């Protein structure tokens, strides 16, 4: 997955700063993990709260910093940054989460923490993270780190090596006092059976190391269990019609790898948007998961909204 294939997804306006939103609304504590589907996940979805409080007690960096370690699915401005600019039709709980996160998170983490120096770059695997995590933690010292590697690993990193190195990356974050939010990978066209094994490994490591899961795989399978794959014949355009890779009405693009980003549902957080735009869905799942970490660990005394 090369970064240049995501240029069409980048937000054209290059902004130098974003002021924290002047908001005061809290957010109810959503569950990090949705109901089970696909591979088995930890049964107690609150197992991580007390252990992460102990991890956070060691933290000495800047409050509100939120790093994203991953590949092209993470470095794309369609992930996270686009949420700030365009978040139409949010249900009440998601809107409350957005206001809550915007109030708490460091403003630069909406848009400036993008690129290899911040731990996200196209074509990368867990090997890259294992080699560079020490530098990222030293330079960024994030309060929370979202980690999602695995899509590229399916074709190049054996499962046992993947598990060993992912666990090591997570542990180095925890030793630093950084809370980890482990993100499951999306299904991949032609390799979903293999992808499920890596998803299972992510969930098992989360349970073993007592970190929360941001379950993107489950969110996809819950909404589009049979037709998530934009590379399938069902979504082939009519003969002679040029098809946009990302403008397909399901959750994975026509390349069978990356989240979709169809124009019709960009920034649309209705159920239709969450079923038809893969980046919108990933933004939603990340938003709700990060908000839960803030409420449960970072600001446990914060009152819920009326």
Query: Would you say 188 and 151 are in contact if contact means Cβ atoms under 8 Å apart?
Result: yes
Token pair for 124: 């990368």
Q: What is the pLDDT of residues 217-260, one digit of tens each?
A: 999 999 999 999 999 999 998 877 788 999 999 999 999 999 99
Closest by CA to 211, choosing from 101, 53, 94, is 53
Strand pairing report for 66-70 and 213-214: unpaired
Mean pLDDT in residue range 164-185: 98
The pTM (predicted TM-score) of the whole model is: 0.85
Considering just the CA atoms, what is the radius of gyration of the chain in Å?
18
Q: Which domains does the chain have, with CATH numbers?
A: 39-233+281-297 (3.40.50.1110)
* Backbone conformation region of residue 119, classed left if phi is above 0, alpha if psi is from -120 to 50, else beta: left
What mean pLDDT is reported for the chain? 88
Query: Would you say 279 and 11 are in contact if contact means Cβ atoms under 8 Å apart?
Result: no
Strand pairing report for 144-148 and 66-70: parallel
Q: Please say if the pLDDT value at position 303 is more than 90.
A: no
Instruction: Specify the residue for token string 């089970």.
Output: 36
CA distance 128 to 31: 31
pLDDT at 41: 44
Q: What is the pLDDT of residues 22-58, one digit of tens each?
A: 333 333 333 343 333 444 444 578 999 999 999 999 9
Q: How many residues does the chain have?
A: 306
CA distance 114 to 68: 8
Long-range contacts of 118-121 (CB under 8 A, 24+ apart): 118/67, 118/68, 119/67, 119/68, 119/69, 119/70, 119/145, 120/68, 120/69, 120/70, 120/71, 120/74, 120/75, 121/3, 121/71, 121/72, 121/75
Report the sign of the C-alpha dihedral through residues 252, 102, 134, 183, in that order.
negative
CA distance 296 to 179: 12
Token pair for 65: 């910093």
Q: What is the pLDDT of residues 109-130, one digit of tens each?
A: 999 999 999 999 999 999 999 9
Q: Please say if the pLDDT value at position 195 is more than 80.
A: yes
């Amino acid at each position: 997955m090369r970064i240049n294939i995501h240029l069409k997804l980048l937000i054209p306006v290059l902004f130098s700063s974003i002021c924290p939103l002047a908001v005061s609304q809290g957010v109810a504590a959503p569950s990090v993990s949705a109901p089970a589907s696909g591979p088995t996940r930890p049964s107690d979805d609150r197992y991580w709260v007390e252990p992460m409080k102990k991890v956070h007690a060691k933290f000495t960096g800047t409050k509100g910093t939120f790093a994203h370690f991953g590949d092209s699915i993470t470095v794309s401005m369609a992930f996270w940054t686009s949420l700030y600019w365009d978040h139409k039709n949010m249900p009440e709980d998601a809107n409350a989460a957005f206001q809550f996160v915007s109030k708490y998170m460091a403003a630069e983490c909406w848009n400036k923490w993008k690129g290899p120096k911040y731990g996200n770059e196209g074509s990368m695997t867990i090997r890259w993270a294992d080699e560079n995590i020490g530098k990222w933690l030293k330079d960024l010292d994030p309060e929370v780190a979202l980690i999602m590697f695995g899509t590229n690993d399916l074709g190049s990193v054996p499962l046992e090596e993947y598990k060993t190195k992912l666990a090591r990356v997570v542990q180095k974050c925890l030793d630093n006092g950084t809370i980890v939010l482990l993100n499951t990978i999306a299904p991949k066209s032609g390799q979903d059976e293999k992808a499920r094994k890596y998803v299972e490994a992510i969930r098992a490591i989360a349970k073993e190391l007592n970190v929360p899961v941001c379950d993107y795989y489950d969110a996809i399978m819950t909404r589009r269990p049979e037709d998530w794959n934009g590379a399938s014949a069902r979504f082939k355009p009519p003969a002679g019609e040029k098809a946009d890779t990302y403008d397909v009405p399901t959750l994975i693009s026509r390349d069978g790898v990356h989240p979709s980003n169809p124009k019709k549902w960009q920034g649309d957080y209705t159920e239709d948007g969450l079923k038809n735009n893969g980046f919108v869905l990933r933004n939603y799942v990340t938003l709700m998961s990060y908000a839960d970490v803030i409420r449960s660990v970072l600001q446990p005394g914060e009152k819920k909204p009326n």
